[in-house]
Amino acid sequence: MHTAMRLNEVITKKSKEAKLVLLNMPGPPKNRTNKTNPMDNAVYKDYPFFTDIQVMIFIGFGSLLAFFRLYGFGGMVFNFLTATFAIQWAILVQGYFQFSHDGKIHLGVINLINAEFACAVVLISFGAVLGKTSPLQLLVMALLEVPVFAVTEWVVLKYLKINDAGGSILIHLFACYFGLGVTFVLYRPCLNEGHAKENTSYQSDILALMGTLFLWVFWPSFNSALTLKGDDQHRAILHTFIGLSASTLTAFALSAMLNKNGKLSMADIQNVTLAGGVTVGASVDMMITPAAAYALGMMGCTACMLGYKYLSPFLARRLRIQDQCGIHNLHGLTGLISCAAGICAILIASEEVYGPSFYEIFAHRAPVEGDPKLQELQMLIPGLQPGLGRTAQEQALFQVAAVVSTIGVSAFGGLLTGCVLKMPCLSPPSDDLCFDDELFFEVPPDYDSPLRLKNIVTMNDSTD
């Protein structure tokens, strides 16, 4: 009897201890239940696109910016530095405007993708001042450009409510005209006469071409990352690939036609082949047909090629715009063509062609709350949100307003940023040390041997 009572006391004590342990164990997060399916997590849908864009940002852009003979370190390393800073800064700034709830920024893979788009904006603008700025100037440029971009993006998406799946307006046009504004203020008259170090080498051209290939291969992910999952994303991938293919073939043909002796120019292959990825951006998820995507790739390539050959020298000579990487050709001209194509696609789009999904792609043309047609559509598309009831013409006008306002804000922001970057305390390189790694890096003794050899040969020729 005594033993049984003793055993019962031990069991009771142990059960109380077990309850105490269970009560102190951490429970599941407040927003999670046992019904959560791990495979529904956004990481499985968005992380592959994130990794592709990572490759574009750090390897594609980095290698492409290393085309100067004596500025390979600067092109790749400053790209690495600026990109890492810009992404972290964009997570905070975009998070405040777009992903903030209850005083907290909600962080996920989709935030990282948006931040990398903001980073791409900074790196495109960087191309306009490549070789002429110090790392401190580049960090300050990123510090100022990201908030201007984030505010512009927030206003355009929240109030103008446009369609811009591939970022032709908010990424390419913004980055281009911001960069041109900066380089206008940082104008260096002596560079118009040419610079001894502003040239390429066999190895630097190959490295830049590798960057082009990385950008080319992963551009479909860039254009489709934020489109609606399913058919829209499928179309975006197909249209981007077709546009890139068209611009590549056209670039080879035009390069041989426009250059002496029918030879190809590496500058054309490195840059103009990418024009199709930009030109299809504004209409990439719409039903524009493969033929239209191919035509856009050809048009963008032609504009980009002619821009490099004729427009860039004119801008440098007449308008004080020294665009080192030709961002106005690859992102500005092609971005404008893309925006025009997107507006045309909006004007001709109809429910007969798209079916009920028309109101998912053009969400702001969906019926307003309380419209009987909205209830019919919600029967066909569960979860369809009320729209603004816009007509095609109204949506097209908002697209035009977004283009004009984005160019204006970005150019003005670039001019102000350029004024800040001119401050002597930011250690800008002198004219004779532009495009030279030696100012900022420990370089190998023979890093400039090809250039020294060329100078020696030139001096011997002149002596003879």
- pLDDT value at residue 73: 96
Question: Rounded to whole angstroms, how far apart are CA atoms 54 and 84?
Answer: 11
Q: How far is CA 203 from the centre of its chain?
A: 27
Cα of 178 vs its chain's centroid, Å: 14
Separation of alpha carbons 342 and 326, rounded Å: 24
- Say how far apart CA 331 and CA 170 lie, in whole Å: 11
Q: DSSP code of 107? A: P
Q: Does 46 or 1 have the greater pLDDT score?
A: 46
435 phi and psi, to 5 degrees?
A: 60, 35
Are 176 and 332 contacting, i.e. CB atoms less than 8 angstroms apart?
Answer: yes
Cβ atoms of 191 and 431 within 8 Å: the answer is: yes
How high is the pLDDT of residue 8? 52
**Taking the domain 43-348+391-459, which CATH number applies?**
1.10.3430.10
- The pLDDT of residue 459 is above 60: no
| pLDDT, tens digit, 9 for 90 and up, residues 261-301 | 899 999 999 999 999 999 999 999 999 999 999 999 999 99
What are the pLDDT digits (tens) for 345-396? 999 999 889 988 899 899 999 999 988 888 888 888 888 889 999 999 999 9
Give pTM, 2 decimals: 0.88
CB 53 within 8 A of CB 113: yes
Say which residues have a Cβ less than 8 Å from residue 236's Cβ, sequence separation at least 6: 165, 166, 220, 223, 224, 227, 284, 285
Mean of pLDDT values over 408-418: 98
What pLDDT score does 450 carry?
57
Residue 445 pLDDT? 84
Mean pLDDT of the chain: 89
pLDDT recorded at residue 20: 37
* Residue 179 CB coordination number (10 Å): 35
366 sits in the region (left: phi over 0; alpha: psi -120 to 50; else beta) called beta
- Residue 160 has a pLDDT of 94
Among candidate residues 442, 452, 429, 457, the one with its CA nearest the CA of residue 137: 429
Which of 366, 355, 403, 426 has its CA nearest to residue 141?
Answer: 426
Q: Does 455 or 378 have the greater pLDDT score?
A: 378
Residue 44 banded pLDDT, cuts 50, 70, 90: confident
Q: State pLDDT tens for residues 212-259.
A: 999 999 999 999 999 998 899 999 999 999 999 999 999 999 999 998
Residue 455 has pLDDT above 90, yes or no: no
Average pLDDT over residues 76-97: 97
* CA-to-CA separations, 375 to 370, 380, 428, 455, in angstroms, rounded: 8, 9, 61, 76
Average pLDDT over residues 397-409: 97
Give residue 22's pLDDT band: very low, low, confident or very high (50, 70, 90).
very low
